[in-house]
Amino acid sequence: MMTASERLIALLKLKKGAAAAIHDPSNMFYLTEGYTGEGMVFISPERRIIVTDFRYTEQAEHQAPGFEIVMTENAKPEKAVLAELVAAGGIGELYLETNYLSVDRFREFRGTLGSEVSLLSLDKAPQKLREVKTPAEVAAIRKACGITSDAFRAILEKIRPGMTEKELQIELDFTMLRLGAEGNAFSTIIASGENGSLPHAIPGSRVLQKGDMITMDFGAKVDGYCSDMTRTVALGKPSEEMKRVYDTVLEAQLKCVDALAAGKNCFEIDRLARDLIDSRGYAGRFGHGLGHAVGIDIHEEPRLSPRCREDLRAGVVMTVEPGIYLPGVGGVRIEDTCLVREGDGVPLTTADKQLIIL
Ligand code: GLY
Ligand code: MN
C-alpha cells in the first residue's frame, strides 16, 4: 500500500522539479502519518521533510520516521529554509494550500522565492485524499466511536434533575477521557429544554428539569481521528409534541442510514430526510445539512447537503444527523457516524436510538 505522501505525489503527478509545501496541521498529520506539531511539510518526488522549530524536532523524529527533519532558527526562519530547499531541488513549481495560507504568508513566500518559481494551488488535494479512509483510519474512528457510545451508556446513570448542562458536559467529557479518548473531537454540546432549539448550544447554567428533552452532541479523538454522535433523551415523560418531534427525527435518521451506500448521491440522501421532515409539518425547522464526513477533522468533505452533488464512495465516513428545532419549545437531533461500504452503510456509533425516558 502506498504511503499518504506517495498518494499525494501520484494525485498531483509531481515530477522532478515540482514540490508541495503543506501548512494545514490536519494535512501535515495525514501526509506524515502521525506528526502533530507545527511547521511545514515539504514533499517532492525526491524528499519528504518536516520543517519545524526546536519544540517539535525530537517529537517529529518519533512520529514520522520516514521524514527528514530540518530545524528552523531565528537566523533561518521557515521561508529561508523553503528557499534553500527550492534552490537545492531545482524546484520550478511549488504547490501551496491557497485555502489555508493567509494573504500575508502567501506574499511572504512570493517575495522570498522570486518570480522564477511558479506558485500553484494544491486545490485541496490532501483533503480529497482524506475523503476515502484506509483500514487503519477506519479502525481509529471505530475506536473513537466505541468510546463515545460507551460514554453515553455510562452518562445515563448520572443525569438527574437539578444538575446543570455544564455539570453534564463535565461528566461526559471526563467519562470519554477515562474510557481512553485522547481528547474531545469538538466542544461537547448539551442543550436542554427550550435550549434544544439551538443546534450548537453552549452548555450553560440551565438546570435540568423533569419534562426536558436533553440533546447531547459529543465525540472523542483517538489516534488523531474523531467520532461524532448525538442522542436526545427525555428526563421524565416528554410532551406529546416533543414525542412526535422525536419520532419524526428518528424515522428520518433510520431511513437515511439505510440509504447509505457507495454510488449514492450526497444531495439525494439529504433530500430523503428533508422531504420526510417537511411533509410532517416541520418545513424550515431542519435548517442544516444532513451530515458531513468525519476523520482527522470533525467536519470534512463530502457533505450530505442540498448543495453537494458528489457520489459517496466506499470508505467514506459520514455522519447522519437530522434534527428538528422549535424556538421556545425545544429540539431533537439524532446522529451516528457511519462507514459507507459498497452495498450499504454501517453505523460505527452504536448507542441506542429508541427514545430513552430517564
Ligand atoms: N457535532 C457537531 C457538528 O457536527 O456540527
Ligand atoms: Mn456532526
Which ligand is in closest contact with the Cα of 215? 1
Mutate to test the pocket of ligand 1, among 321, 325, 333, 336 (most ligand atoms within 8 A of CB): 321
Residues 167-177: what's their mean pLDDT?
98
Residue 135, C-beta contacts closer than 8 angstroms, at least 6 positions apart: none
Give residue 213's pLDDT. 97
Kindly report the number of other CB atoms within 10 A of residue 292's CB atom. Answer: 24
- pLDDT 10s digits, 328-354: 999 999 999 999 999 999 999 999 999
Q: How many residues does the chain have?
A: 358
**Domain map (residue ranges) of the chain:** 4-130, 135-347
Residues 198-214: what's their mean pLDDT?
96
112 near 83, Cβ under 8 Å? yes
User: Rounded to an integer, what distance in angstroms lies between the CA atom of residue 305 and that of residue 270?
Assistant: 5
Position in ligand 1 atom list of the atom nearest CA 298? 4
Residues 214-225: what's their mean pLDDT?
98
Kindly report the number of other CB atoms within 10 A of residue 290's CB atom. Answer: 29
Q: 161 C-alpha to center of ligand 1: Å?
A: 26
Interior/surface letters 98-123, b for 16+ CB within 10 angstroms, e for the rest: eebbeeeeeebbeeebeeebebeebe
Residues 294-317: what's their mean pLDDT?
97
Give residue 257's pLDDT. 98
Give residue 281's pLDDT. 97
**Can you point out the beta strands (E) in 68-198?**
68-71, 93-96, 118-121, 183-184, 189-192
- pLDDT 10s digits, 91-124: 999 999 999 999 999 999 999 999 999 999 999 9
176: amino acid identity, one letter: M
Q: Of all residues in the chain, what percent carry a pLDDT higher than 90?
A: 100
Give residue 269's pLDDT. 98
Domain range 4-130, CATH architecture: 3-Layer(aba) Sandwich (3.40)
Q: Is the CB of 228 under 6 A from ligand 1?
A: yes
Cα distance between the two ends of the chain: 48
Closest residue by Cα to residue 296 from 98, 121, 62, 133: 133
185 near 210, Cβ under 8 Å? no
User: Rounded to an integer, what distance in angstroms lies between the CA atom of residue 272 and that of residue 297?
Assistant: 26
Kindly report the number of other CB atoms within 10 A of residue 55's CB atom. Answer: 12
Tell me what the pLDDT averaged over the chain comes to: 97
Closest residue by Cα to residue 295 from 313, 278, 316: 316
CATH (residue range 135-347) = 3.90.230.10
pTM above 0.75, yes or no: yes
Closest residue by Cα to residue 89 from 22, 11, 15, 197: 15
Residue for cell digits 439524532?
334
User: Rounded to an integer, what distance in angstroms lies between the CA atom of residue 259 and that of residue 345?
Assistant: 8
User: Rounded to an integer, what distance in angstroms lies between the CA atom of residue 217 and that of residue 219?
Assistant: 7
- pLDDT 10s digits, 18-54: 999 999 999 999 999 999 999 999 999 999 999 999 9
Q: How confident is the model at residue 1 (pLDDT cuts 50, 70, 90)?
A: confident
Mutate to test the pocket of ligand 1, among 215, 216, 217 (most ligand atoms within 8 A of CB): 217
